[in-house]
Amino acid sequence: MYIDIRHISKAFNGQSALNDINFGVQEGKLTALLGPSGCGKTTLLRVLAGLETAGSGQVAIAGRIVDDIKPQERGIGFVFQNYALFRYLNVYDNVAFGLKTKHWPAAKIKTRVQELLDLTGLTDLAQRYPDQLSGGQKQRVAFVRAIAPNPKVLFLDEPFAALDSQIRQELRIWLKNLIHQVGITSIFVTHDHEEAIETADEIVVMNQGQIQQVGTPLEIYYQPQNEFVANFIGHSSLLKNPDLNGYDLPSTACQVQIRPEHVHIHKLSKKVTSFGQSATVTAVQFKGLTTNVALDVQGQKLLAYWDAGATPLGIGEQVQITIERLVVFQNNQSQILKAQ
Ligand code: ATP
């Protein structure tokens, strides 16, 4: 592993903030640290960067244990959520800044800065000052400035948080492409599950200072290992001990996760009477592309989608549903089941 994190624990005033954190990041990959506010994401990133000291454990970057190495000597590029550009330097000089402090020869600095500005489509902005840039442009410059000195790894703390949603979306794709093009091993912190799923090669889900699951976006989405991950990632319903047609579910205490896209609603008609599972429509919300529907199934709430162009569903309407796939959680084990 290019970044190797072993048994990292950290407490503040006797309160545990990180509890035995273990994971690795492969070379050239982009990993998201994802979790709710206060789960320890920023503390972990600061420990990796050397801005915070771990209580115990070990961090290796590019095969070198860095625990006793100062932040500026760890070979790290860092991007903050608020850009942190130098106001009195133009884009070109902002990107060149780190290279000058590392005493690169002038000709090499010029080549490197121009190469990066060309690669990232920022050449036309080279003479502008931060005040003359949009938020998205500032953050692009901040990314480029961070990777200019060829750091071994790039750490990004909520790098999209200050941007509005359309720019954020554009920038995620831009950043992912840039990171893969440059081949720099990166970790970014986010509390936004959609952002992690869209942007990362791998996601580390955290809660209360502990890792809940490490996996690709597809694994985290479709094979959640516990109820926390199931609840935190994407939209789904968690039902307690439901009795569902087509499934042999445990009779003892269990939780069942069902994603709305796996629920199919059938309006009652002469043809459709009772082949599935009975449900009652309790809420309908038009969302444009689709319609979100809340259903009552045996007194529990189940979310589903309905084709926005189809005959509308009414509140209180009785329907039949079929469930394509679900995940059962019982005794700290998870199991994926598909309709029989
Ligand atoms: P957010 O998304 O809100 O930034 P986070 O997941 O990044 O949250 P951290 O900032 O890492 O969470 O905080 C983890 C825990 O450690 C929290 O309970 C926080 O209050 C505590 N903590 C963080 N820094 C300090 C500090 N310097 N002194 C005391 N407690 C701290």
Residue 54's Cβ-count burial label (10 Å; 0-12, 13-18, 19+) is buried
Residue nearest to atom 28 of ligand 1 (CA): 12
Mean per-residue pLDDT over the chain, rounded? 93
Contact in structure between 147 and 77 (CB atoms under 8 Å)? yes
Rounded Cα distance between 198 and 175, Å, is 11
Report CA-CA distances (Å) from 58 to 126, 231, 284. Answer: 41, 31, 51
CA of 214 to the centre of ligand 1 (A): 21
pLDDT in tens, 308-318: 788 889 999 99
Q: Which of 8, 9, 10, 12 to mutate to test the pocket of ligand 1 (most atoms within 8 A of CB)?
A: 12
Copy the structure tokens of residue 104: 């690169």
Fold annotation for 3-232:
Rossmann fold (3.40.50)
CA of 103 to the centre of ligand 1 (A): 36
Residue nearest to atom 20 of ligand 1 (CA): 38
- 315 three-state secondary structure: coil
pLDDT in tens, 206-225: 999 999 999 999 999 999 99
Q: How far is CA 282 from the centre of its chain?
A: 31
Is the pLDDT at 6 greater than 80? The verdict is: yes
Question: What per-residue confidence (pLDDT) applies to 63?
Answer: 93
Question: What per-residue confidence (pLDDT) applies to 80?
Answer: 81
Rounded Cα distance between 39 and 36, Å, is 6
Does any ligand 1 atom lie closer than 6 A to the CB of residue 42? yes
Indicate the residue type of 290. Answer: T
Mean pLDDT of 76-101: 91
CATH for 237-338 (3.40.50.980, 2.60.120.560, 2.40.50.140, 3.40.50.1970): 2.40.50.140
CA of 302 to the centre of ligand 1 (A): 34
CA of 162 to the centre of ligand 1 (A): 19
- 163 three-state secondary structure: coil
Residues 136-148, buried b or exposed e (16+ Cβ, 10 A)? bbbbbbbbbbbbb
Look-up of token digits 């410059």: 141
Question: What per-residue confidence (pLDDT) applies to 109?
Answer: 96
Domain definitions of the chain by residue range = 3-232, 237-338
Give the 3-state secondary structure of 276-305: CEEEEEEEEEECCCEEEEEEEECCEEEEEE
pLDDT in tens, 57-72: 999 999 999 999 999 8
Is the pLDDT at 288 greater than 90? The verdict is: no
Does any ligand 1 atom lie closer than 6 A to the CB of residue 21? no
Give the 3-state secondary structure of 30-59: EEEEECCCCCCHHHHHHHHHCCCCCCEEEE
Q: What is the pTM of this model?
A: 0.91
Tell me the ipTM for this assembly.
0.94
